[in-house]
Amino acid sequence: MLDQRGRPRAPHQLSLALPVPARAARALVLTAVFVCAACGLVYELELVALASYLVGDSVTQASLVLSVMVFAMGCGSLLAKRLRNRPAAAFVAVESALALVGGLSVMTLYAVFAWYGQARFAMIGCAFAIGVLIGAEVPLLMTLVQRIRRQDAGGAVADLFAADYVGALVGGLAFSFLLLPYLGQLTGALATGAVNAVAGGATVLWLFRGDLSGRARGWLLTANVGVLALLACAAVGAGPFERAARHAVYGSRVRVAEQTGAEEIVLTGGTGASGVSSLRLYVDGDLAVCGADEAVYHQALVEPALTGPHARVLILGGGDGLALREVLRHQGVEAVTVVPDDDELARLGRTDPGLTALNGHAFDDPRVREVGGDAFDWLRRATSQSAERVSGAGAFGSAGADTGGGGVAGGVGANAGGGGARGDAGADTGGGGGAPDAGSPGRQRYDVIIADLPAPGASDSAKLYSQEFYGLTAHALAGGGRLAVHAGSSAHTLWTTDATLHTVSLRTTPYAMTGTRACGSSAGWNFLLAAPTSAPPHLALPNRPPPGQSLTAAGLRAAARQARRTRPARPLPPSTLLRPRITE
């Protein structure tokens, strides 16, 4: 309907008796918009993070959650058109429902995952419900702002969206730097729901109380207080709930459960009469280590790489210390640098009684240097420091070149002529042959590099299987050195990794260990042995195997045949940072 000037006629408005001046009331409503936007983004990020953990593949889960939520927001905006005649009551009801659904979403999804095993459809349902409620907010808030003081629609929309977007910024930062590190996903979601109920529902309920009948105020206030009470009860029971859910997922012998960002590390067994064979290490719900058969995996990864020079060894990942244990059993190992992929896992590898018993207290060995930080970034610093030395003091020659007297050949190639350097491929780039400086990664190259990294199927670890990463790794490898890579469990992952290694001038020999694990699940471990040589490296075991070695030469040959049988008819393309084919 149009007014006398041809403009759309506004819906019938009641005269409002506001408890504060109109300017202050408008500021309070915009503050509610700010807080509600922050809470809404926290709900979205909570769902994305939890979906990545429960279902896996963070890129796919983020796309699914955000797409469903944005679609649902559009549906919510359309549904809110029917509620504009009673915007205050409708907004309080929407915020109470949003606080309840969003606050309990993490607990609900984790319960479904723990007791039913599959949370994908529950996740989609939560994303849709939260999206509908978030989408209903803006039309109702727009109506409330206009009821305080009429202004042109463009100005009102600008004010609302400014508060909304700034609130989303604060919510995103609070999730990453406050809620997740200090409260965790479960308690953080409950706290967000409580803030949502108070700031969104209670503020508008107080400000627009003159627009509501006494009965409506009573019902809405009861609902708002009831939501806060439910969230408080859930917060009190969060600890027992988490323990019960973990026992449902991992069994009744959970000893350690640590949350590091969006990643969960759980240790079960490993102590008491059953010994280390009962130890289980889970990372993000997936079995990473089974104490009864982990030696099969770690020996297959480490032993073939140590058949050549192995004085200096670099382990990328391996925070559990089990690959390190295998390396230290070999004579001739002078120094090992470990760059764990998870600091909390490395702490457990040093301190947990079950895990230290399994890894033989490997981190206590004086030859071991542990370096914190991301493996990709650490190798990148190593490369940049090497480049600085090339342009400055000329400590390194070009790839494969001879640097002349006193120095050491850089790149992947020959050793330097002249004195003062070790004569093997693991030369010390500092020119002295002393112990390595773990804080200065660019000072040395390594005879052996072991890549014991998270499974490449996860999107957030795809960069550790990229052409760029292997280029940095090849730069850190000494001439005549060897690189051992765990290449997942599928043929696609194995041969994509193989193709990627070839792009950085490394020749490869694949092998695959299959069978049934002592823990009951099937074992499928793919490996690649790579070297900067003209021919693929020879797959063999050291002439003097260390005590306790169960891997045999016959088993290794069978593993090589098994890998060859999975070779695709056409070579697969490599994986890069911009095109992470490893996750396809």
- Residues 534-565 pLDDT 10s: 999 999 998 888 887 889 999 999 999 999 99
Q: Tell me, rounded to whole angstroms, the distance of Cα 312 from its chain centroid.
A: 30
Taking residues 147-166, what's their average pLDDT? 86
Tokens of 279: 């130890």
Q: Which residue has the tokens 């006398």?
A: 4
Among 287, 250, 226, 259, which residue's Cα sits nearest to residue 106?
259
Sign of CA dihedral 289, 290, 291, 297: negative
Residue 327 has pLDDT above 70, yes or no: yes
Opening angle at CA 287, ends 282 and 291, nearest 5: 90
The pLDDT of residue 423 is 36
pLDDT tens for each residue of 348-400: 999 999 999 999 999 999 999 999 888 999 999 887 766 555 555 444 333 33
Rounded to an integer, what distance in angstroms lies between the CA atom of residue 382 and that of residue 444? 9
Residue 35 has pLDDT above 50, yes or no: yes
Residue 443 has pLDDT above 80, yes or no: no
What type of residue sits at position 291?
G
Q: Mean pLDDT over all residues of the chain? A: 84
* Bridge pairing between strands 263-268 and 254-260: antiparallel
Among 309, 446, 280, 436, which residue's Cα sits nearest to residue 370?
436
% of the chain beyond a pLDDT of 70 = 84
Secondary element (H or E) of residue 337: strand 335-339
Taking residues 424-439, what's their average pLDDT? 39
Q: 259 has which bridge partners?
A: 264
Among 363, 39, 447, which residue's Cα sits nearest to residue 227?
39
Taking residues 108-117, what's their average pLDDT? 92
Rounded to an integer, what distance in angstroms lies between the CA atom of residue 395 and that of residue 409? 8
Residue 217 has pLDDT above 80, yes or no: yes
Instruction: Identify whether the C-beta of residue 225 lies closer than 8 Å to the C-beta of residue 201.
Output: no
The pLDDT of residue 493 is 94
pLDDT tens for each residue of 488-534: 889 999 999 999 999 999 999 999 998 766 676 667 899 999 999 99
The pLDDT of residue 147 is 82
Tokens of 559: 């593993």
Tokens of 24: 């202050």
Opening angle at CA 515, ends 493 and 265, nearest 5: 65
| DSSP summary character for residue 444 | B
Rounded to an integer, what distance in angstroms lies between the CA atom of residue 68 and that of residue 130? 10
Half-sphere exposure of 363 (CA within 13 A, CB side): 23
CB burial of 129-163 (b: ≥16 within 10 Å; e: otherwise) equals bbbbbbbbbbbbbbbbbbbbeeeeeeebeebbeeb
Measured in residues, the chain has a length of: 584
The pLDDT of residue 208 is 86
Instruction: Identify whether the C-beta of residue 335 lies closer than 8 Å to the C-beta of residue 436.
Output: yes
Secondary element (H or E) of residue 89: helix 87-116
Taking residues 301-322, what's their average pLDDT? 96
Q: Matching CATH topology for 22-241 and 294-541+554-583? A: no
Work out the pLDDT band at 415, boundaries 50, 70, 90. very low
Rounded to an integer, what distance in angstroms lies between the CA atom of residue 467 and that of residue 111? 39
Tokens of 512: 């695959």
Fold of 294-541+554-583: Rossmann fold (3.40.50)
Opening angle at CA 403, ends 398 and 409, nearest 5: 65
Which tops the pLDDT comparison, 42 or 516?
42
Which tops the pLDDT comparison, 56 or 237?
237
Which tops the pLDDT comparison, 86 or 365?
365
Catalytic positions are: 452
CB burial of 541-562 (b: ≥16 within 10 Å; e: otherwise) equals bbeebeeeeebeeebbeebbeb
Q: Where are the alpha helices (DSSP H) in 149-273?
A: 153-174, 180-182, 184-196, 203-207, 214-236, 238-250
For 21, residues 6+ apart whose C-beta sits below 8 A from its C-beta are none
Least confident of 219-223, 246-250, 254-258, 443-447: 443-447
Rounded to an integer, what distance in angstroms lies between the CA atom of residue 575 and that of residue 311? 31
Angle between helices 87-116 and 238-250 (to 10 degrees): 40
Instruction: Identify whether the C-beta of residue 401 lies closer than 8 Å to the C-beta of residue 409.
Output: yes
Query: How many other CB atoms sit within 10 Å of the CB of residue 122?
Result: 18
Residue 272 has pLDDT above 80, yes or no: no
Among 200, 145, 154, 160, which residue's Cα sits nearest to residue 32?
200
pLDDT tens for each residue of 188-206: 999 999 999 998 777 878 8
Instruction: Identify whether the C-beta of residue 432 lies closer than 8 Å to the C-beta of residue 420.
Output: yes
Q: 531 has which bridge partners?
A: 507
Superfamily of the domain at 22-241 = MFS general substrate transporter like domains (1.20.1250.20)
Residue 174 has pLDDT above 90, yes or no: yes
Taking residues 174-179, what's their average pLDDT? 94
Tokens of 14: 């009641």
Rounded to an integer, what distance in angstroms lies between the CA atom of residue 272 and that of residue 46? 37
Least confident of 270-279, 378-387, 401-410, 557-566: 401-410
The pLDDT of residue 520 is 65
Least confident of 130-144, 351-365, 409-423: 409-423
Instruction: Identify whether the C-beta of residue 292 lies closer than 8 Å to the C-beta of residue 210.
Output: no
* 3-class SS of residue 407: coil
Rounded to an integer, what distance in angstroms lies between the CA atom of residue 285 and that of residue 279? 15
Tokens of 445: 């190259």
Q: What residue segments make up the domains of the chain, in order of their start?
A: 22-241, 294-541+554-583
Residue 416 has pLDDT above 50, yes or no: no
Rounded to an integer, what distance in angstroms lies between the CA atom of residue 204 and that of residue 47? 27
Longest dimension (CA), the chain: 99
For 376, residues 6+ apart whose C-beta sits below 8 A from its C-beta are 463, 464, 468, 469, 472
| DSSP summary character for residue 168 | H
Work out the pLDDT band at 426, boundaries 50, 70, 90. very low
Sign of CA dihedral 439, 444, 445, 448: negative
For 260, residues 6+ apart whose C-beta sits below 8 A from its C-beta are 342, 343, 344, 345
